[in-house]
């Protein structure tokens, strides 16, 4: 206390007298600065009054010890205060407000009418003059009570400036008055009301002197509040950030929630929010959200007949395939299997007692417990089970034994994990013929002439369609490709985009004979466990080599040769005419955007196979050396050097053309001036399979030869 008084008096003395001794400024300047100095002195004096009067009031009542009595006054005295906003709000009868996340600490003072005020779910009935306080990040909601309701609100920010002692910071951590939540009916409401009216009136102006006066009035207001708190003995609570986040997620789990959106909502940095939450719970905010969502999903699976897509959307996942993968990853079984098992258990159970079910989330408490003994209130483990009746357990055991005996009598396990036929039926089972498919990454044995093919490598779908093979499963991206229209009807959707977002559960359901994937697929190891998998390195074979390889492996060699013959004939027909137009001039294919502009080679789609390989046209030297000469499909380039690699004929992706068309260098290019720039659709020109190349050929040849349509 002595130190606090000394500091305040010392600063007061400096402002009052110190300037008299050291100042060399004129009398006129001193006179002009007098109001500002007076306000500064007033603020410091009020700080001193708070300390002295607060100490006097609490000692007289004998309510607190010396250490306790200093806490709030000490922290308020040391804090740097910034008033952010002062509002006067009048709600009409029946009009409510919120929920609203407080952007800063707030005092709320009701002046007329009555309403229910909720702060982080705690309800306070405000009638007439009543004061409430809550910290940054708390949720405010005002529920009308049938009549008009008026109140003032003060938003402020308080920080402890550096350097600050460790003991002070520890005190702030334990008892932060700026985050405290409380409500009280003041014994001297008129005085508080008068301060608020003055502050609100001054807030309408922008002069610096008014801001000083507001701060002085605010300190008086705070002193009155602290005195009222001690006089009433009101309960002060300190809501923690973790509890607020948990409450929000448990109520809004179906909404799109990210770490960034949580940080923005609670007005903390993403790092601070995540670190605080994990320190308190052991989980990151997003891991906790996933657990809530899957718990809700598990409940819906066992208690309703809702479709998987409906449940997925209902718990916050728009992509049902992603939801299925996540559910299986966390629980160990697919949603469909989870529902089936629980349905079977409910049928087997011979009592109305609830049958044991999986629990994805450690049992949630009704409220957050912030203590070192938190683990005592949780049931650890990924699959805690609730206790059922003995009869239910016996029935389950009997069911498991029956299934086991059935499995053992029906098949025996071979060394590679495949089921072997029972001895009595061995002669009736035809032997499956296999062949070896060779790739740069190795050899794989697959069934000869497989009937059920799933293609995860989108770039190779058109090869199979050209051979007359209709896969049983394709990605959503491939199914929606314009060049495949009419050829993919009835094929199952296995996910969003090829290898990276396919549903393993869906693959299992389709029971494929063989799967075609890229060798860098994220789930390749798991995919290979489902069926023999041909893992292809993109671009390892050219068009004709790849089509023949697939034709041989899938019993479609004649179809492959027929397509190649037709293709060769088409190229031979138009190649001389194209060379007559282009001659020795250079052709470039550009794509990307202005920040990552680049050029394509001869095996990366965008028409490169047709222009460079089939027609034999030349690329600008810089592109030739950076792509085709070293076996690369794409090279990033600087737009500042655009004239060096643009070429005499330009094929450009539509997305880039929109950005680059206003560029001065672009407008000076010969290709632009001579109208030899041709736009290619970045979607339809993405693939380089036989079907895609047929359509691209017609467009490219038509542009170069001046014909809009080229007949086959």
Domain assignment present for residue 411? The answer is no
Reported as a pLDDT band with limits 50, 70 and 90, residue 558 is very high
Average pLDDT, integer, range 337-345: 76
204 and 86 in one domain? Answer: yes
Which of 2-16, 224-238, 662-676 tops mean pLDDT? 662-676
Tokens in use for 638?
């600087």
Separation of alpha carbons 224 and 41, rounded Å: 20
Question: What sign for the dihedral angle of Cα 601, 607, 612, 613?
Answer: positive
The pLDDT of residue 556: 92
In this prediction, residue 710 carries a pLDDT of 54
Q: Kindly state the DSSP code that residue 456 receives in the 8-state scheme.
A: -
pLDDT at 239 (0 to 100)? 56
pLDDT at 297: 92
Best CA proximity match to 617, nearest among 568, 664, 661, 577: 577
Assess whether 204 and 260 both reside in one domain.
Answer: no
683 vs 44, more confident: 683
Residues 695 and 569 in one domain: yes
Instruction: Establish if 10 belongs to a structural domain.
Output: no
pTM (global) more than 0.75: no
Return d(Cα 457, Cα 141) in angstroms, integer: 52
Question: What range does the domain containing 275 cover?
Answer: 241-344
**Helix extents (H) in 583-626:** 608, 621-626
Residues 138 and 233 in one domain: yes
Q: State whether 465 and 589 are in the same domain.
A: no
Six token digits for residue 424: 């009595």
CATH code, 605: 3.40.50.1980
Q: Is residue 645 part of a domain?
A: yes
pLDDT of residue 105: 93
Q: Which of 647, 587, 595, 646 is nearest to 611 (CA)?
A: 587
pLDDT band at 516, cuts 50/70/90? very high
Q: Is residue 384 part of a domain?
A: no
User: Which among 555, 580, 600 is the end of a domain?
Assistant: 555
If one compares 363 and 210, the residue with the highest pLDDT of the two is: 210
Q: How far is CA 26 from CA 17, 20, 31, in A?
A: 16, 11, 9
CB 79 within 8 A of CB 4: no
**Distance between CA 269 and CA 259 in Å, rounded?**
10
What pLDDT, on the 0 to 100 scale, is given for residue 408? 45
> For residue 509, what is the enclosing H or E element?
helix 504-510
Residue that finishes a domain, picked among 555, 579, 608: 555
Q: What is the pLDDT of residue 431?
A: 57
Assigned domain for 100 exists: yes
Mean pLDDT value across residues 320-333? 85
Both 334 and 482 in one domain: the answer is no
**Is 287's pLDDT higher than 60?**
yes
- At 18 the pLDDT is 43
pLDDT band at 657 (very low <50, low <70, confident <90, very high): confident
Nearest to 608, CA basis, from 673, 517, 542, 654: 542
Q: How does DSSP assign 93-146, residue by residue?
A: TT--EEEEE-SSEEEEEEEESEEEEEETTEEEEEESSEEEEE-TT-EEEEEE-S
Q: What is the dihedral of CA 691, 696, 697, 699, to 10 degrees?
A: 140
Highest mean pLDDT among 166-170, 302-306, 519-523, 540-544: 540-544
Strand 473-474 relative to strand 492-493, pairing:
parallel
Q: Of all helices (H) and strands (E), which one includes residue 87?
A: strand 80-91
**Which CATH number covers residue 167?**
2.60.120.280
The reported pLDDT for the residue numbered 23 is 41
Q: Are residues 515 and 606 in the same domain?
A: no
Domain match, 129 and 260 both: no
Q: Which CATH number goes with the domain that contains 254? A: 1.10.10.60
Question: What confidence tier does 132 reach under pLDDT thresholds 50, 70, 90?
Answer: very high
Task: Examine residue 355 and state whether it is found in any structural domain, yes or no.
Answer: no
Task: Using alpha carbons, list the distances in angstroms from residue 357 to 44, 389, 426.
Answer: 64, 13, 40
CA-to-CA distance for 330 and 603, rounded, in angstroms?
Answer: 40
Find the farthest-apart pair of alpha carbons in the chain and give their distance in angstroms, rounded: 118
Does one domain contain both 536 and 569?
A: no
Q: What is the pLDDT of residue 252?
A: 86
Contact 327, 297 (CB under 8 A): yes
pLDDT of residue 649: 94
- The total of structural domains in the chain comes to 4
What is the Cα–Cα distance from 663 to 657, expressed in whole angstroms?
10
Q: State yes or no: pLDDT of 380 exceeds 70.
A: no
Q: Is residue 474 part of a domain?
A: yes
Structure tokens at 534: 């041909």
Do the Cβ atoms of 615 and 583 come closer than 8 Å? no
Per cent of the chain over pLDDT 90 is 29
Of 529, 555, 581, the position where a domain reaches its end is 555
CA distance 278 to 274: 6
Q: Judge whether 101 lies within some domain.
A: yes
Residue 152, pLDDT score = 95
Q: Supply the pLDDT for residue 564.
A: 96
Residue range 485-499: average pLDDT?
78
- Given 3-state DSSP classes, what are the helix, strand and coil percentages for the chain, each rounded to the nearest 5? 50, 15, 35
Residue 152: which of 110, 182, 211 has the closest Cα? Answer: 110
Query: Residues 184, 264: one domain?
Result: no
Question: Which residue blocks in 531-556 are alpha helix, DSSP H?
Answer: 543-553
Alpha-carbon dihedral sign for residues 180, 182, 187, 193: positive
Examine the domain organization and report whether 606 and 593 are in the same domain: yes
pLDDT > 90? residue 616? yes
Contacts of residue 163, defined as CB under 8 A and 6 or more positions apart, other chains included, come to: none
Mean pLDDT of 472-494: 89
Whole-angstrom Cα distance, residue 585 to residue 582?
Answer: 6
| DSSP state for residue 609 in the 8-state scheme | I
Residue 559, pLDDT score:
95
Over the stretch 69-116, which tens digit does the pLDDT of each residue have? 457 778 888 889 999 999 999 998 888 898 888 989 999 999 988 888
* C-alpha span between 511 and 453 (Å, rounded): 9
Q: Which residue has the higher pLDDT, 283 or 410?
A: 283
pLDDT in tens, 659-679: 888 888 888 899 999 999 999
pLDDT attached to residue 45: 52
Taking alpha carbons only, the member of 132, 137, 143 closest to residue 97 is: 143
Q: Among 295-304, 334-343, 381-390, 677-686, which stretch is predicted with the lowest mean pLDDT? A: 381-390
- The residue-averaged pLDDT of 476-487 equals 88
Chain-centre distance of CA 475, in angstroms?
Answer: 23
Position 694 scores a pLDDT of 93
What is residue 70's predicted lDDT score, i.e. its pLDDT? 54
Question: Do residue 172 and residue 269 come from a single domain?
Answer: no
DSSP state of 181: B
């Amino acid at each position: 206390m002595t130190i606090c008084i000394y500091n305040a008096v010392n600063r007061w003395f400096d402002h009052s007298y110190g300037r008299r001794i050291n100042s060399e400024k004129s009398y006129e300047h001193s006179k002009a600065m007098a109001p500002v100095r007076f306000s500064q002195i007033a603020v410091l004096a009020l700080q001193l009054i708070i300390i002295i009067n607060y100490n006097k009031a609490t000692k007289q009542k004998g309510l607190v010890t010396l250490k306790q009595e200093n806490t709030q006054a000490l922290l308020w005295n040391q804090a740097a205060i910034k008033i952010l906003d002062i509002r006067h709000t009048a709600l009409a009868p029946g009009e409510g407000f919120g929920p609203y996340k407080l952007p800063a600490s707030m005092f709320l003072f009701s002046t007329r009418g009555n309403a229910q005020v909720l702060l982080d779910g705690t309800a306070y009935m405000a009638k007439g003059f009543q004061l409430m306080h809550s910290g940054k990040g708390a949720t405010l909601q005002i529920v009308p009570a049938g009549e008009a309701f008026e109140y003032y609100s003060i938003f402020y920010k308080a920080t402890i400036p550096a350097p600050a002692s460790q003991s002070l910071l520890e005190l702030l951590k334990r008892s932060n008055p700026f985050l405290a939540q409380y409500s009280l009916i003041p014994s001297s409401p008129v005085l508080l009301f008068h301060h608020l009216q003055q502050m609100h009136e001054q807030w309408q102006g922008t002069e610096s002197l008014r801001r000083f006066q507001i701060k002085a009035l605010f300190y008086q207001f705070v002193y009155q509040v602290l005195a009222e708190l001690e006089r009433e003995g009101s309960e002060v609570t300190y809501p923690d950030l973790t509890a607020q986040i948990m409450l929000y997620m448990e109520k809004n789990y179906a909404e799109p929630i990210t770490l960034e959106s949580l940080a923005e909502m609670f007005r903390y940095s993403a790092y601070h929010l995540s670190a605080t939450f994990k320190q308190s719970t052991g989980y990151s905010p997003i891991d906790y959200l996933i657990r809530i969502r899957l718990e809700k999903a598990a409940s819906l699976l066992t208690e309703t007949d809702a479709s998987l897509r409906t449940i997925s959307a209902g718990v916050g996942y728009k992509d049902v395939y992603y939801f299925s993968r996540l559910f299986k990853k966390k629980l160990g079984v697919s949603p469909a299997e989870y529902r089936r098992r629980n349905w079977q258990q409910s049928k087997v159970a011979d009592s109305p007692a609830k049958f044991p079910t999986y629990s994805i989330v450690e049992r949630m408490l009704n409220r957050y417990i912030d203590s070192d003994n938190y683990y005592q209130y949780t049931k650890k483990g990924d699959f805690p089970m609730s206790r059922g009746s003995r009869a239910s357990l016996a029935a389950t055991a009997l069911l498991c034994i029956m299934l086991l005996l059935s499995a053992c009598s029906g098949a025996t396990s071979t060394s590679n994990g495949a089921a072997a036929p029972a001895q009595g039926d061995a002669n009736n089972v035809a032997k499956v013929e296999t062949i070896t498919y060779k790739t740069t990454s190795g050899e794989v044995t697959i069934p000869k002439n497989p009937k059920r093919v799933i293609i995860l490598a989108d770039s190779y779908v058109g090869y199979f369609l050209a051979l007359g093979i209709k896969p049983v499963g394709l990605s959503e991206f491939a199914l929606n490709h314009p060049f495949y229209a009419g050829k993919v009807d009835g094929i199952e959707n296995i996910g969003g985009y090829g290898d990276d977002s396919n549903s393993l559960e869906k693959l299992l359901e389709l029971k494929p004979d063989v799967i075609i994937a890229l060798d860098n697929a994220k789930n390749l190891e798991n995919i290979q466990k489902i069926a023999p998998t041909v893992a292809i390195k993109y671009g390892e074979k050219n068009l004709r080599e790849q089509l023949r390889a697939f034709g041989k492996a899938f019993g479609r060699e004649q179809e492959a040769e027929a397509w190649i013959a037709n293709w060769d004939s088409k190229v031979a027909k138009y190649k001389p005419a194209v060379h007559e137009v282009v001659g020795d001039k250079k052709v470039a294919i550009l794509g990307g955007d202005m920040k990552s502009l680049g050029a394509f080679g001869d095996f990366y789609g965008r028409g490169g196979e047709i222009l460079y390989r089939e027609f034999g046209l030349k690329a600008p030297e810089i592109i030739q050396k950076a792509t085709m000469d070293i076996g690369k499909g794409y090279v990033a380039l600087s737009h500042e050097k655009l004239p060096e690699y643009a070429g005499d004929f330009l094929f450009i992706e539509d997305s880039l053309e929109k950005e680059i068309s206003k560029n001065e260098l672009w407008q000076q290019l010969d290709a632009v001036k001579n109208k030899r720039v041709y736009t290619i659709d970045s979607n339809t020109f993405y693939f380089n399979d036989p079907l895609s190349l047929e359509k691209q050929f017609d467009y490219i040849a038509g542009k170069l030869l001046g014909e809009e349509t080229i007949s086959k």
